[in-house]
């Protein structure tokens, strides 16, 4: 997590940036990747997916997982 929050004066709130391990980790454990994605989505109002190179079929599948996960954990207040 970025140590200093960004102060949004317009909305009077703080924005924190959280960077997580990517899906191409040395361990390559799909269960661990799902846990990281889940934690990041639960802690965030916005999720930014960063990809190196072109977006391929695997990237689309990972984005699909994040989208499905976010739909399941969406709160009724949103």
In this prediction, residue 23 carries a pLDDT of 65
In this prediction, residue 59 carries a pLDDT of 81
- Of residues 7, 1, 10, the one with CA closest to residue 44: 1
In this prediction, residue 74 carries a pLDDT of 65
Q: Is 60 domain-assigned? A: yes
Q: Is 11 domain-assigned? A: yes
Q: Is 25 domain-assigned? A: yes
Mapped onto helix, strand or coil, the DSSP state of residue 44 is coil
**What is this structure's pTM?**
0.55
For 63, counting Cβ atoms within 10 Å of its Cβ (0-12 exposed, 13-18 middle, 19+ buried), the class is middle
Q: Is 59 domain-assigned? A: yes
Count: domains in the chain = 1
Q: Is 66 domain-assigned? A: yes
- Helix locations, 1-78, DSSP H: 30-43, 57-73
- Are 40 and 8 contacting, i.e. CB atoms less than 8 angstroms apart? no
- Helix locations, 2-56, DSSP H: 30-43
Can you give the residue range of the structural domain that contains 28? 6-73
């Amino acid at each position: 997590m970025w140590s200093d929050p960004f102060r949004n004066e317009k909305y009077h709130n703080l924005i924190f940036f959280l960077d997580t391990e990517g899906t191409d980790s040395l361990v390559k454990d799909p269960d661990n990747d799902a846990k990281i994605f889940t934690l990041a989505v639960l802690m965030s109002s916005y999720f930014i997916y960063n990809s190196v190179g072109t977006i391929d079929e695997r990237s689309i599948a990972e984005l699909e997982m994040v989208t499905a996960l976010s739909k399941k954990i969406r709160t009724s207040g949103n």
